[in-house]
Structure 1
């Protein structure tokens, strides 16, 4: 497949702005969900109540979740605690609502009692939101620093542009689908950031190697060849990861569905954004700010012999 693609001589990035315009449209459509429907934040970020129940007979989380939903709390987060108890997180509720949840669980398990009952106040929720934004900012800054050291700034700008687009798509799709952005969602977004940069670094390494080996060729053609050469690897890696995540999405239950959904979106967006955002943005920036021509090696300078620059001139 790699040989067949390399032999097509496609000029993928002859007009990089078309790639960027199409990608920007997709990102805007996804991110508009935040403005149209709003992002539904989880209990960790808004404040609420976290209650742990011990049941007479063991309940699996799915049965408990159905019982709590039937009792009038469909948005409650129901999870199994380490000791087999049921932990439930909801928005602010009073004691009457808490007793209704307990009765619903007791009807399924033959009895239930409260083991712990914790209130998550608005102040704590605001602190968690701030810490979540700090975590995202640190992750982006760390990736930007690594890319700036590892590659020329035009490469790092392309990778960061793709990364920001991926995060916007994931967050926007969560808003459109009405899913809850909680702690697991934050973990998924941070994972998407790492995956997106990893894919871009692989392609950029191939671009740099190809550019050195094929001096004199236009950078857009070199970038297109590198993308085609790494495309089979990218598809194989993404497909193998998606198989696991799709299994988790379908069979993991509601407690892990949002986490798996965010990762599936991130893998798909990250795979496409490398070719549709990172590389064309790098090509566009390279045309506007081309790198300085390489200087002659020290040995050539001593002998007075010339070397050929990237643009074909001899110096």
Structure 2
């Protein structure tokens, strides 16, 4: 009887991650479908932003924030009904820290409005009501915050592009910035579609999503660059598939544990951080997707090649030294 020939996967022995039983997931086989899906999501988000607009919070539009402490637990629905009866139909009331503390938000440009509301609610309550805080944000301050927030996001994307171009290569920087822009637009589009209130906490969440997605993209890019330099066989699509497969476990573990924490905040964190948790949950989910099918996919559209990532001769000789 002849010897049985063992069947192994063709891998590059120069790669430190190569294994005879290495199984590669063909992520890039779905790149066309992913591109169409992303275009639909981004266009839909832009249409939602244009037609419905963002529901700006008091941080950006101006208004009054009032914190009241009752001597007994109070029903926020009853407080809200009193506000509506008094003509403040656009105000909101919610528990803040405990059932005895109520946080009231009201639009308007009257600095004395908070004290008027506190006196009105105290007069309709049989017990004692203590005014803990009255904060007023003028419309000019809100407009300036909105402008500075937008400029901050644009500056962050610009600095990211410079950093990625310096650390990797210009084609990588384009892919990273497009992926981050993709994530931000989809989160903003969802908030516009559902008319969720957009305040400074949501702005902070979007910036956190940019940082999280960037970290994930850099890890994927670092592995792609390494495999382009060390693997002598395979197309650019094959090498990207190998790199994504090798980083998939880390990506799922990080995203999974982060989403578990955010879901707990979303379900039990209260109304104050509900929109913050929503933005992060959507952003991290979309960011994980974009690291694979936007940042990496764009490298193929930009025709990335080994020549783009070759080391200088001196650097290559140093890397070969034991």
- Aligned twin of 1:172: 189
Moved more, 228-237 or 187-196: 228-237
Tell me, yes or no, if the aligned pair for 2:93 and 2:102 is still in contact at 8 Å. no
1:206 aligns with 2:238: no
Q: Which ranges of structure 2 fall in alignment gaps of 5 or more residues?
A: 1-17, 318-322
Cα deviation, residue 134, structure 1: 2.2
Superposed CA deviations along residues 42-66 of structure 1, whole A, max 9, x for unmatched, are 0111111233434334x5xxx5643
- Aligned twin of 1:69: 80
- Aligned twin of 2:45: 30
Cα deviation, residue 293, structure 1: 5.9
- Aligned twin of 2:106: 90
SS at match of 1:7: coil
Q: Whole-Å Cα distance in 2 between the matches of residues 46 and 9 of structure 1?
A: 48
1:134 to 131, 151, 171: 151
2:254 to 233, 237, 261: 237
SS at match of 1:278: helix
- Aligned twin of 1:262: 279
- Aligned twin of 2:62: 47
Kindly tell me: are residues 225 and 109 of structure 1, through their superposed partners in 2, closer, same or farther at Cα, counting changes over 3 Å?
Answer: farther
Tell me, yes or no, if the aligned pair for 2:216 and 2:251 is still in contact at 8 Å. yes
- Aligned twin of 1:303: none
Q: Whole-Å Cα distance in 2 between the matches of residues 77 and 264 of structure 1?
A: 25
Kindly tell me: are residues 216 and 37 of structure 1, through their superposed partners in 2, closer, same or farther at Cα, counting changes over 3 Å?
Answer: same
Tell me, yes or no, if the aligned pair for 1:16 and 1:284 is still in contact at 8 Å. no
Kindly tell me: are residues 223 and 55 of structure 1, through their superposed partners in 2, closer, same or farther at Cα, counting changes over 3 Å?
Answer: same
Q: What aligned pairs does 1:126-165 form with structure 2 within 5 A after superposition?
A: 126-165=143-182
Kindly tell me: are residues 293 and 99 of structure 1, through their superposed partners in 2, closer, same or farther at Cα, counting changes over 3 Å?
Answer: closer
Superposed CA deviations along residues 179-210 of structure 1, whole A, max 9, x for unmatched, are 10001111101100000101101111111111
Number of aligned residues: 293
SS at match of 1:88: strand
1:7 aligns with 2:19: no
Superposed CA deviations along residues 252-273 of structure 1, whole A, max 9, x for unmatched, are 1111110000000011000111
Kindly tell me: are residues 298 and 85 of structure 1, through their superposed partners in 2, closer, same or farther at Cα, counting changes over 3 Å?
Answer: closer
Q: TM-score, normalised by structure 2?
A: 0.78
Kindly tell me: are residues 101 and 206 of structure 1, through their superposed partners in 2, closer, same or farther at Cα, counting changes over 3 Å?
Answer: same
Superposed CA deviations along residues 212-238 of structure 1, whole A, max 9, x for unmatched, are 220243212101111122112211111
Q: What aligned pairs does 1:271-290 form with structure 2 within 5 A after superposition?
A: 271-287=288-304
Cα deviation, residue 287, structure 1: 4.7
1:185 aligns with 2:202: yes
SS at match of 1:44: helix
Tell me, yes or no, if the aligned pair for 2:64 and 2:113 is still in contact at 8 Å. no
Q: Whole-Å Cα distance in 2 between the matches of residues 195 and 105 of structure 1?
A: 45
Q: Whole-Å Cα distance in 2 between the matches of residues 122 and 152 of structure 1?
A: 43
Provide the alpha-carbon RMSD of the alignment.
3.4
Q: TM-score, normalised by structure 1?
A: 0.80
Q: Whole-Å Cα distance in 2 between the matches of residues 299 and 270 of structure 1?
A: 34
Kindly tell me: are residues 5 and 13 of structure 1, through their superposed partners in 2, closer, same or farther at Cα, counting changes over 3 Å?
Answer: farther
Q: Whole-Å Cα distance in 2 between the matches of residues 114 and 92 of structure 1?
A: 19
Cα deviation, residue 111, structure 1: 2.7
